Amino acid sequence: MQPPLGIVHAAKENTDLAFTDSLTGLGNRRRFYDKVDRLINGRADDPAPFAIGILDLDGFKPINDLFGHKAGDDILIQVGMRLRAAMDGHSTVTRIGADEFAFLYPMVFSEEAATEKAKMLIEILSAPYDVGERTARLSASVGCSLFYFDEETTDILVNKAETALYHAKRSGRGRVVVYTHEMEEAAKRVTRIEQALRRAVSAGEVEPHFQPIVDLKTRKVVGFETLARWTDRDLGAVPPMVFIPIAEERGIIGPLSQLVLRKATEAAKSWPSDLFLSFNLSPSQLVDQNTGLHILAILDRAGFDPRRLEVEITETGLMSDPASAEKIVDDLRRCGIRVSLDDFGTGQSSLGRLREFRFDKLKIDRAFVSSILDDRPSEHIIRAILAMCEGLGMDVVAEGIEQEAQADRLVTFGCGGGQGFLFGRPANAGATLGYLREASRGALRVATA
């Protein structure tokens, strides 16, 4: 006996709803997995290649925050309409996350063809979006993977596409990356480093090193920047440029920073009281409203005066969530902690940030300092920065000084502070204390001579 027609229709409608994204009307993640599963099974006897991709909107969160969630939803609906219109009769596009879309190209057989298709989608999405009486622009990044072998599953293909997307996002906006075997090896290495880093943080094995910051005129040390250093028993010395981004991306940066700051403040307690300690805050710490509480708790336990601490933040860190960053910065400054803008000139909105935030200090990026002797534009940029900071009442430190001639040129320009290998390389707590004692004995000998 056949079920009544109404029951059949109702069951079909429920199934359709379960496979549909309610906002855009596109299929959802379940629909995408179902389509790919069916295609793999259909090609079991003759596994012809096909391509999938994951597309992530670049900069959607700031637009969503700026214009509001209603405008964000309107943009997502427009994105869905554009992507649907770009699909041919064989292909499928679905929404699988907040601002992530997945597409399936059954008739794409090569990496080159997948790349061209993805670039076309990025181009389609780059046109302006209507947001009430205003317009907004977006870019997108895409990671693709190709099915070649019958033992590959939908999960494997999606994981490969996500790995490719990760590489696309890291290499800049509006990029397409197709998964390769080299990426798989790189992903495995990242996982190994992540696991080892988690163990090292738990065991307290990441150490602070300290690089001197000097008064350029007198060459007197006025403070030290704290830099994290890690040597693993199996991996050996892992460079900060490797493990810091992994810590940031995998959610380890909070515990790592707290560990390093705790050790740094304990070491700095024995320094002369007129020396300050500079410490970097990561972008993710500027969206965590507990950051200020963690810092103050560490200072309190160590008995370290907050007025001797200076936190360094970058423009990139400010851009992810300006409102959250502003609150954290204000909370820290109220407790006497000074705030420095690091890597000035390398971000996207430097002058706007200086107007919106109150900074005590600005650090000129090493890219300008390294070319100050032979590049007129760099010289003019540094002069302009120094004049601006004088008007704003901000201290200035030039980073990356490696030559006496660079230091002398900066002094003639009126730059107050300097940091770089010319004045000292990063050293551990014991070596730094020895450095300070030697400097104190030298000053004493000069005074009594």
pLDDT tens string for the chain (449 positions)?
A: 555 555 445 445 555 778 999 999 999 999 999 999 999 999 888 888 999 999 999 988 878 777 888 889 999 999 999 999 999 999 999 999 999 999 999 999 999 999 999 999 999 999 999 887 888 888 999 999 999 887 889 999 999 999 999 899 988 889 999 998 888 888 889 999 999 999 999 999 999 999 999 999 999 999 999 999 999 999 999 999 999 999 998 999 999 999 999 999 999 999 999 999 999 999 889 988 899 999 999 999 999 999 999 999 987 777 777 888 888 988 999 999 999 998 786 655 457 667 777 889 999 999 999 999 998 998 999 999 999 999 999 999 999 999 999 999 999 999 999 999 999 999 999 999 998 988 777 554 434 44
CA–CA distance, 259 with 295 (Å, rounded to integer)? 11
Tokens of 299: 């200072």
Domain boundaries, the chain: 18-179, 204-448
Query: pTM, whole model, 2 decimals?
Result: 0.74
**101 near 93, Cβ under 8 Å?**
yes
Neighbours of 138 (CB within 10 A): 21
Burial tier of 366 (Cβ tally within 10 Å: 0-12, 13-18, 19+): middle
H or E, element range at 237: strand 236-238
**What does the pLDDT read at residue 186?**
85
Task: Decide if 427 contacts 212 (C-beta within 8 A).
Answer: no
Query: What string of DSSP letters covers 186-208?
Result: HHHHHHHHHHHHHHHHHTT--EE
Which architecture, in CATH terms, is 204-448?
Answer: Alpha-Beta Barrel (3.20)
Partners of 207 in the β-ladder: 229
pLDDT at 446: 39
Closest CA to 260 of 306, 210, 218, 305: 210
- Number of CB atoms found within 10 A of residue 242's CB: 16
Do the beta carbons of residue 289 and residue 321 sit within 8 Å? no
Q: Is 266 exposed, middle or buried (0-12, 13-18, 19+ CB in 10 A)?
A: middle
- CATH code that applies to domain 18-179: 3.30.70.270
Please report how the helices 253-268 and 429-448 are oriented relative to each other, as an axis angle in degrees rounded to 10.
30
**pLDDT reported for residue 25:** 95
Pairing outcome for strands 417-419 and 207-215: antiparallel
Residue 69: what pLDDT?
A: 85
Closest CA to 137 of 123, 157, 148: 123
